[in-house]
């Protein structure tokens, strides 16, 4: 049987492109159970016909639920594959950030190259070496090996009213310019700020952490998720004894 990067490629080993489809569908269905083929095509930047063909193939293989003209959802089998790949990506990003000196804005592209080729065994080794992190440097939950994911009650920073103290929990942008800007002004998971002013009509927000004041646009604030009223609270350990893993603020430009 042919092998790719030391891993067997058989019935349970999908191609990189198929894994990407399952990842995208997983992200699109985080809040809604089903998603349209049009939404998938838009998210992936492919034509509707190309995406429709792949959806049919993944459905036939048992990874998706989909009927003609109906919406798409992951089967248990498909969700497990998607979560395992996402787990690898987020562990790789955590390794690159903590151990290899990458900036928070430099992780996405590098991790995308590696997530499809490392084995589950190597992912497990990274998990142990990093102290079983709960979150990647952007604040996204890292799935367990069995596909389970910690659900966290978060809300966008832009929805918070003046006077509230909040802790930044997650950066949702994948734009490296946005991530670099956020890191440079200290808007990273784990830091707490008080909203001192919120301009009307989607105007800028002014934040303070008692040592400095930061003004950010409503657009940037909409890309940041927070835990309201949790000043100084670290991400909690999971039931299986993971260690807290608040990422340190780094402003390096790479290795």
Last residue of a domain, one of 22, 52, 74: 74
Q: Which residues of 95-105 are buried (b: 16+ CB within 10 A; e: fewer)?
A: bbbbeeebbbb
244 within some domain: no
End-to-end CA distance of the chain: 38
Domain of residue 207 covers 155-228
Q: Is residue 107 part of a domain?
A: no
Least confident span in 20-24, 39-43, 223-227, 243-247: 243-247
Last residue of a domain, one of 74, 91, 111: 74
pLDDT in tens, 95-109: 999 999 999 999 998
CATH number at residue 30: 1.10.10.10
Residue located via tokens 């900036």:
103
**95 within some domain:** no
Residue 198 sits at φ, ψ, to 5 deg, of -135, 105
DSSP letter string, 65-100 = E--TTS-BEE-HHHHHHHHHHHHHHHHHHHHHHHHS
Please give the share of the chain, as a percent, with pLDDT higher than 70.
84
- The pLDDT of residue 151 is 81
Choose the final residue of a domain: 74, 101, 122: 74
Domain containing 222 — which CATH number? 2.30.30.90
144 belongs to a structural domain: no
> Where is pLDDT greater, at 242 or 83?
83
Tell me whether residue 90 is in a domain: no
The answer to whether the CB of 228 falls within 8 A of the CB of 161 is no
On whether residue 35 sits in a domain, the answer given is yes
Mean pLDDT over each residue of the chain, to the nearest integer:
85
- On whether residue 84 sits in a domain, the answer given is no
Structurally, the chain folds into a number of domains equal to 2
pLDDT average, residue stretch 215-224: 95
pTM for this model (two decimals): 0.81
Structural domain contains residue 172: yes
């Amino acid at each position: 049987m042919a092998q790719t990067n030391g891993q067997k490629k058989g019935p349970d080993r999908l191609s990189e492109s198929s894994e990407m489809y399952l990842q995208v569908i997983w992200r699109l269905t985080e809040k809604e159970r089903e998603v349209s083929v049009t939404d998938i095509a838009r998210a992936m930047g492919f034509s509707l016909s190309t995406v429709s063909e792949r959806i049919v193939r993944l459905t036939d293989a048992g990874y998706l639920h989909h009927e003609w003209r109906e919406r798409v959802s992951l089967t248990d089998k498909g969700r497990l594959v998607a979560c395992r790949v996402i787990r690898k990506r987020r562990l790789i990003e955590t390794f690159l950030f903590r151990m290899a000196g990458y900036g928070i804005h430099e992780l996405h592209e590098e991790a995308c190259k590696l997530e499809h080729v490392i084995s589950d065994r190597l992912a497990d080794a990274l998990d142990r070496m990093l102290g079983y992190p709960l979150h990647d440097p952007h604040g996204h939950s890292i799935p367990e090996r069995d596909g389970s994911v910690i659900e966290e009650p978060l809300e966008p920073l832009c929805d918070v009213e003046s006077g509230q103290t909040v802790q930044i929990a997650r950066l949702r942008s994948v734009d490296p310019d946005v991530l670099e800007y956020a890191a440079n002004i200290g808007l990273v998971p784990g830091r707490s700020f008080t909203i001192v002013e919120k301009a009307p009509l989607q105007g800028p927000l002014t934040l303070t952490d008692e040592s400095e004041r930061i003004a950010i646009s409503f657009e940037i604030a909409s890309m940041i998720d927070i835990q309201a009223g949790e000043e100084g609270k670290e991400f909690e350990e999971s039931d299986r004894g993971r260690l807290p893993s608040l990422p340190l603020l780094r402003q390096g430009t790479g290795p």
